Amino acid sequence: MKRRVAFHAVDTHVKDGMRVGLGTGSTAVWAIRRIGEHMREGRLSGIVGVATSFASEMEAHRLGIPVRSLNDPEIGGEVDLAIDGADEVDPALHLVKGGGGALFREKLVAYNARRFVVVVEECKLVPHIGTGFPIPVEVVPEARACVLKALEALGAEWTIRHGSGKQGPVVTDNGNLLVDVRFPSPVDPEEMEIRLGLIPGVYETGFFTRIRPTVCVGLPSGEVRTL
């Protein structure tokens, strides 16, 4: 289903010559692979990718998709389209992202995309975000204690994300920590994105509320519904 919905998004929305934001995760990777397949078989040309993580950059390199920085003059700080997954989607199409830890670059690319297409399975649709799947908050290590205190003052429960086994805390592509935050009762996601972003030491959060995405939902029947 992940592959089907990602292929649908690419086949519907990616056109020759586009600057395309390449998302991160087990669904978005299929979009990168589909773009690579179309380029290899001559169905798409002139595509330039902007990666949202080291992982998506490596996958694009493997497939021969040219990758540039958002700062490259050829990109000019904006992509035509970004395709990415999400951890939760509410009825207003607010998102939680960052389950894979790539939230900073994902948000930078999504918020600077002319069009943002989200690819999810139906199980990601929820009535409220923030109470189920934890909101990832990327925190500058030096600010850890201060940020945790500020989160508690907002009524949030938190855990510092650790790797599996005896590995220490997860370190992001930007050298920061990830704190997974849950609110015991529903919060206003738009307000909370702003409030969390104002805490000194918060590098980025997984609330994506200030863009209006097109959401492609893979249904158990195999069909794709667009919201």
Q: Which residues are annotated as a binding site for substrate?
A: 24-27, 84-87, 97-100, 124
Nearest alpha-carbon partner for 173 in 103, 73, 79, 81: 103
Contact, 33 vs 59, CB < 8 A?
Answer: yes
87 lies in the site for ligand 5RP, by CB under 6 A: yes
Is residue 84 a contact residue for ligand 5RP (CB under 6 A)? yes
Decide if residue 218 touches ligand 5RP (CB under 6 A): no
* Percent of the chain as helix, strand, coil, to the nearest 5: 30, 25, 45
* Cα Rg of the chain, angstroms: 17
Rounded to a whole number of angstroms, the minimum distance from the CB of residue 12 to ligand 5RP is 18
Residues 166-195 that bind ligand 5RP (CB under 6 A): none
The reply on whether position 134 binds ligand 5RP by CB under 6 A is no
Residue of 97, 179, 183, 209 that binds ligand 5RP (CB under 6 A): 97
Q: How far apart are CA 93 and CA 45, in angstroms?
A: 31
Smallest gap from residue 135 Cβ to ligand 5RP (A) = 11
Q: Which residue has the tokens 């010559």?
A: 17
Q: How far apart are CA 29 and CA 101, in angstroms?
A: 15
Instruction: Pick the catalytic residue from 57, 59, 88, 106.
Output: 106
CA nearest to 63, candidates 97, 43, 38: 38
- 130 near ligand 5RP, rule: CB under 6 A: no
Q: How many chain residues interact with ligand 5RP (CB under 6 A)?
A: 18
Whether 106 sits among the annotated catalytic residues: the reply is yes
How far apart CA 173 and CA 101 sit, in angstroms, is: 8
Is 100 one of the binding residues for ligand 5RP (CB under 6 A)? Answer: yes
For position 8 contacting ligand 5RP by CB under 6 A, the verdict is no
User: Rounded distance, CA 200 to CA 114, Å?
Assistant: 29
Structure token digits, residue 226: 């667009």
Of 1, 27, 89, 203, which lies in the binding site for ligand 5RP, with binding defined by CB under 6 A? Answer: 27
CA distances to 120, 127, 129, 213 from 94, in Å: 13, 11, 8, 8
* Residue 99 contacts ligand 5RP per CB under 6 A: yes
Single out the residue of 106, 180, 193, 204 in contact with ligand 5RP (rule: CB under 6 A): 106
Annotated catalytic residues are 106
> Interface with ligand 5RP by CB under 6 A: which residues?
23-28, 84-87, 97-103, 106
